Amino acid sequence: MAVAEGADNPAQERRMGLVLAASAAGTVFEWYDFFIFGSLAAIIAKHFFSSAGDVQGYIFALLTFAAGFFVRPFGAIVFGHFGDRQGRKRAFLFTITIMGLATVAVGFLPDYAQIGILAPSLLVAIRVLQGFAIGGEYGGAAIYVAEHAAPGKRGQATGWIQAAASLGLFLALAVILTTREIMGEDAFAAWGWRIPFLFSALLLAVSLWIRLKLGESPLFRKIREEGRLAKAPLSEAFFRWSNLRVVLIVLFALLMGQGVVWYTAQFYTQFFLERVVKVEPSTVNLLILIITLISAPLHMAFAVISDRVGRKPVMLFGLGLAAVSFFPGFHMLTQAVNPGLASAAATAPAVVIADPADCSFQFDLIGRSEFKSSCDIARSALTSAGIPYRNEAAPAGTLAIAQIGNLPVQSVDGRHMAPAELAVQKAHFAATLRAALDASGYPRSAAPNAIDVPGALAILLVFIIAAAALYGPQAAALVELFPTRIRYSALSVPYHVGVGWFGGFLPATAFAIVAATGNLYAGLWYPVIIAGIGFLVTLFMLPETKGRDISL
């Protein structure tokens, strides 16, 4: 069955519409959950990691977010095997159910103040379960649509799945922004943040209702009737060199790059605006909401273009644009939204003068480390305030100094202090540092009336164009690269290694790099280098797949 066969048949057209709706519903759900958790990471940190401190608590929240991404490839292994052996429909009925229930559960979860250490443990467990289910979701949706679509319209058909990601982000932002406006910031931060998670119960009900109406994909039915199902799809996909070679090319050419480019454009921009350059959260939500609304037709446009000129040139454009635009774009973004910060950093630069042996890389995966040295305290305070700084070596054994222009502020060494004394000393240091920052012209937050909204949107649009050019044609390209009998496994596992691991760990990694270096833009090296690698591997090793026969 294909779109072309039913072009003049209303029943066939309705069925294809149902196929698209069912497959896109899961993508909407996936990205809705992704964005509400990512957008509310700062609030979640205060509720579930309140004992860890501001900076470290936020890193823990980002790592909890990333935990779901870590298990995605393992979910892809399980559901990929299931989808290749038992069928596409059964697999993505399971994935949507588990994914949806896990998202709703976050809305009911007691926080640290109510049940102590059990709260973050349960939160991590829920995110792991949710990520495990997502491991089988995207591959199933992309394959299901492509296996119904006409050969010349696979990009257009699967483009609806890619555009659905923008719909999920738009819906998440709309729910968050509406709830914030109705409740007020204090009530939202106290308990209203749960409402977006609970709202997902409605998405789950609609998604299940649509998917239960569908049958199996025609290409899977065909190979099952012909007795061509893979007996061991994982072994065939990953232990047969002809297939493994394609998996590795796809991973390094497209999927690592798509993970970091898309997450930088859609998520790291929000983190940067809110946490680094201190724009009011509601303003950030509104900016991202507008740019996300614009992104949906861009995904479709690039998917349709790929049906005409090929997948490869469109995706190369996306990778190249990201690699060359991120550094200048983020510098311009700071100037557009917080010109006072850019001006103060130029006229009164901040410097942390410390013994290098006293400074740690503040990235703790298991929550056991305590960053109490004078250097770590100074760095943490500046990072929390969104102040760029550079590091300068001091003689061994001396206390760190945070120098703001010509104003030195001596830090404290808390390694031998009792917790109560350390809290007092850190508060005193933070107050003294804030006074020096105020005297040097550093704004405490971005002034709303100084924000260049059109300029900020123009910069964000460049990032979104890069992400859409890479993401729009990608589903069709991935389906076309692998044979039907192992398609679910061979597509899903590298997708979630590249996108889940390299993209999912981007926020925590970039944030820790910024905290270590003091350079607000240093974290961008991570996506820029990976996008550059992806561009070169795509250019020289990835084949063009437009027009391939995918029924084999």
Beta strand 389-393 pairing with 350-354: parallel
- CA-to-CA separations, 153 to 306, 317, 363, 476, in angstroms, rounded: 10, 21, 46, 9
In DSSP notation, 234-277 reads HHHHHSSHHHHHHHHHHIIIIIHHHHHHHHIIIIIHHHIIIIIS
Identify residue 160 by its one-letter amino acid code.
Answer: W
The order of strands in the sheet holding 389-393 is: 389-393, 350-354, 401-404, 407-410
Residue 54 has pLDDT above 70, yes or no: no
Q: Is 390 helix (H, G, I), strand (E, B) or coil?
A: strand
Tokens of 524: 């961008």
**Exposed / middle / buried, residue 434 (Cβ in 10 Å: 0-12, 13-18, 19+):** middle
Tokens of 340: 């006072």
Q: What is the CA radius of gyration of the chain?
A: 24
Residue 9 has pLDDT above 70, yes or no: no
Is the pTM here over 0.75, yes or no?
yes
CB atoms within 10 A of CB 533: 16
Quickly state the pLDDT bin for 69 (edges 50, 70, 90).
Answer: confident
Residue 175 has pLDDT above 60, yes or no: yes
Q: Which of 114-128, 183-197, 316-330 has the highest mean pLDDT?
A: 316-330
% of the chain with per-residue pLDDT over 90: 45
How many residues are listed for the chain in this entry? 552
Q: Kindly compute the dihedral angle of the four CA atoms of residues 223, 227, 232, 234, in this order, to the nearest 10 degrees.
A: -10
Using one digit for the tens of pLDDT, what is the confidence trace for 246-295? 999 999 999 999 999 988 998 889 888 988 888 988 888 889 889 988 98
Which residues are bridge partners to 350 per DSSP?
389, 404
Quickly state the pLDDT bin for 442 (edges 50, 70, 90).
Answer: very high
- H-helix or E-strand containing 351? strand 350-354
Q: For 26-30, 97-101, 106-110, which range has the lowest pLDDT when averaged over its residues?
A: 26-30
Is the CB of residue 30 less than 8 Å from the CB of residue 72?
Answer: no
- CA-to-CA separations, 420 to 46, 370, 416, 417, 423, in angstroms, rounded: 20, 15, 12, 8, 5
Using one digit for the tens of pLDDT, what is the confidence trace for 449-473? 999 999 999 999 999 999 999 999 9
Residue 364 has pLDDT above 60, yes or no: no
Using one digit for the tens of pLDDT, what is the confidence trace for 482-521? 999 999 999 999 999 998 888 877 877 787 787 777 788 8
- CA-to-CA separations, 148 to 135, 368, 406, 454, in angstroms, rounded: 22, 51, 67, 41
| Cα 467 to the center of its chain, rounded Å | 12
Nearest-angstrom CA–CA distance, 72 and 134: 6
In DSSP notation, 392-436 reads EE--TTPPPEEEETTEEEE----TTS-HHHHHHHHHHHHHHHHHH
* pLDDT for the residue 254: 92
Largest CA distance in the chain: 81
Quickly state the pLDDT bin for 81 (edges 50, 70, 90).
Answer: very high
* pLDDT for the residue 11: 66
State in words which class domain 4-338+448-541 has: mainly alpha
Nearest-angstrom CA–CA distance, 249 and 255: 9
Quickly state the pLDDT bin for 347 (edges 50, 70, 90).
Answer: very high
250 versus 216: which is more confidently predicted?
A: 250
DSSP class of residue 544 equals P
Q: For the domain bounded by 342-439, which CATH number is listed?
A: 3.40.30
Nearest-angstrom CA–CA distance, 86 and 220: 9
In the block, residue with structure tokens 């519409």:
17
In the block, residue with structure tokens 């998405």:
203
CB atoms within 10 A of CB 407: 16
Which residues are bridge partners to 393 per DSSP?
354
Domain ranges within the chain, ordered by starting residue: 4-338+448-541, 342-439
